[in-house]
Every structure is written in C-alpha cells, then in structure tokens.
Amino acid sequence: MATPGRPGIDWEALRERARQLNQRAYVPYSGYRVGAAALVDDGRVVSGCNVENAGYGVTLCAECGLVSELVAGGGGRLVAFTCCNSLGERIMPCGRCRQLLFEHGGNELLVDTPRGVLTMAEVLPQAFGPADLAEVEAARGGPDPAV
C-alpha cells in the first residue's frame, strides 16, 4: 500500500524485497544481515545484501550491491530507498552509503527511516556531490590543468 501523501510508491513491496534480500546476506564475520531495495525512476526495483570478507574492511554494504545493480541495469535515478536488519526493522544507511545513494538519487531521494520517510537532504544535509565538482570546473573555465 502506498504511504499516504506519497502516491505511486509501494513502500510495503519495497520493504518486502529488502527482507527477502536480507536472507541472502553473506555475513560470516558480523552475523548482521542487511537487505536493501529501491525504486528507480523508470519503475525498476533494484536490491542488494551485504557481502562480508575475511579482509573486514573490504566488506560490501547492501547498498553497494543495490547501486551496482542500478548502474549495470542501465542506470536511472533512485526515487525511494529502504533497508532492514534481520528482524525486518528499518535501519539507517551508514554514512558512506548515504553518500553512495546521494550520487544516484540526489536531495529528493526518499529514505525509509525508523522515524518515517525522509528526504536525502534531511538524512545527509549539505551533501558533497557532482555539483561541487562542476562548480569549480565552470569557475576555472575547464578542468584543472594539473589533472
């Protein structure tokens, strides 16, 4: 059922997809499963689960798989995002993954949080992004010659 005031987004279907992906997580080190799902502006649903590694720092968050599916599947803009733990509860994407999601959804991306649906601008205020790079390049009249 669509959340009142946000017609067109089937949040329950997205949450169910995230719960399904949660069960596929590869978490031999933390034991903490994450499943993520998102609606794309062309109607696709992309998803991911966390994939850990013996080199702990190499771990892929669920959002990494989701974004990889987005780009590999032809790109597009993320419209609505949710992720959950193994209890099926909504969780917040980690700081790094907010940045990852921002790149592909911008300030308007709707994020399903434990405090309700918020915009990316609310969960990652004043985000650094592609516009910052473009602004300096435009001011300089082209790419930095040092590059």
Which residues have a catalytic role annotated?
63
- The region of 3-11, 16-24, 93-101, 105-113 touching ligand THU under the rule CB under 6 A is 93-101
Nearer to ligand THU, 23 or 136 (CB): 23
Contact 111, 97 (CB under 8 A): no
Among residues 34, 84, 109, 117, the one that binds ligand THU under rule CB under 6 A: 34
Nearest 10 degrees: CA dihedral of 12, 21, 114, 109?
-80
Query: How many alpha carbons lie under 13 Å from residue 73 in its C-beta half-sphere?
Result: 18
Quick check: 35 binds ligand THU (CB under 6 A)?
A: no
Structure tokens at 109: 């991306």
Helices within the chain (DSSP H only): 11-22, 62-72, 95-105, 120-123, 130-140
Q: Which of 9, 45, 79, 94 binds ligand THU (CB under 6 A)?
A: 94
Q: Does 113 bind ligand THU (CB under 6 A)?
A: no
Asked if 26 interacts with ligand THU (CB under 6 A), we say: no
**Residues near ligand THU, by CB under 6 A:** 27, 30, 32, 34, 50, 52, 59, 61-63, 93-94, 97
